[in-house]
Amino acid sequence: MITLSGIIGSGKSSLTKLLSEELGTEAFYEPVEDNPVLPLFYKGNEIAAKRRANGEEDTSNPYAYLLQTFFLNRRFKMIKQAMTEDNNVLDRSIYEDAIFMKMNTDMGNATQVEYDIYKSLLDNMLEELPYAAHKKSPDLMVMIDVSYETMIKRIKKRGREFEQIENDPSLVNYYKQLLDYYATWKTEYSASPLLVINGDKYDFMSSLSDRNEVLNLIEQRLVDLGKLTEDEFKEIKAKRGEKLG
């Protein structure tokens, strides 16, 4: 099982699709379009930023805790489903979930009490995961590491109105802080082997050569981990070449 990680707009869903097609397995995607809380959260961030600017005492986002528990519940269900089989790819995992709640707490969008309750719930879920999913952790975590400039370019291309910095200037600071938290997470993650892909260097959606190189990097790591044989790797590359030809 492969899990993807990375900031908003890094290309997780796109790479998940490529990997699932390449390896002939099922892709699991984080629900966004049917998330009733996400637009409220972005509006709440804008309200909280204005409150801070006005020097008000209550600067929390009333939807931060609600959003994170919504995501946590969905991600736990998704990873349990994915872990019941041997070969699946997830475009987001429960292992980076705490990044967002921690950052929102540090920013004042969530309270310390909310964070403590959330973290206790997350820890309990992770303890139960091996029993619920019959697997302790992913076989490989693939992180797509991008700069702020690449992130914004891809967010614009995706076109979700509530994610655009032109519509909400407070998102500039939010996104830049999120990049810093991901940089820390990258050095601390230890649940499984981690492969970091340079998302600025490799435009795996627009460039065929970049796509091939990224897929090869991931599959070679699977070989190194004993999850693919050299013969399987060669066969996968040969089939990819036939499709492109």
Ligand-binding annotation for 2, yes or no, is: no
The residues, ordered by sequence, that sit 6+ positions from 201 with a Cβ below 8 Å of its Cβ are 210
Ligand-binding annotation for 14, yes or no, is: yes
Q: How many CA atoms lie within 13 A of 142 on its CB side?
A: 27
Are the CB atoms for 140 and 195 separated by under 8 Å?
Answer: yes
Ligand-binding annotation for 164, yes or no, is: no
Residue with the two structure tokens 């204005």? 50
Ligand-binding annotation for 13, yes or no, is: yes
Ligand-binding annotation for 9, yes or no, is: yes
**Contacts for 233-240: CB closer than 8 Å, 24+ residues apart:** 236/22, 236/23, 240/22, 240/212, 240/215
Ligand-binding annotation for 114, yes or no, is: no
Ligand-binding annotation for 176, yes or no, is: no
Report CA-CA distances (Å) from 96 to 5, 18, 68, 72. 7, 22, 11, 10
Strand ranges for the chain from DSSP E:
2-5, 26-28, 88-90, 140-145, 194-198
Q: How far apart are CA 11 and CA 158, in angstroms?
A: 10
Q: Which of 34, 58, 86, 91 is catalytic?
A: 91
Report CA-CA distances (Å) from 49 to 34, 68, 69, 231. 26, 19, 22, 55
Residue 231 falls in the annotated catalytic set: no
Ligand-binding annotation for 116, yes or no, is: no
Ligand-binding annotation for 6, yes or no, is: yes
Ligand-binding annotation for 147, yes or no, is: no
Ligand-binding annotation for 96, yes or no, is: no
Ligand-binding annotation for 68, yes or no, is: yes
Q: Report the binding-site residues for substrate.
A: 30, 42, 68, 92, 97, 163
Q: Report the binding-site residues.
A: 6-14, 30, 42, 68, 92, 97, 154-158, 163
Q: Report the binding-site residues for ATP.
A: 6-14, 154-158
Q: Kindly list the catalytic residues.
A: 91
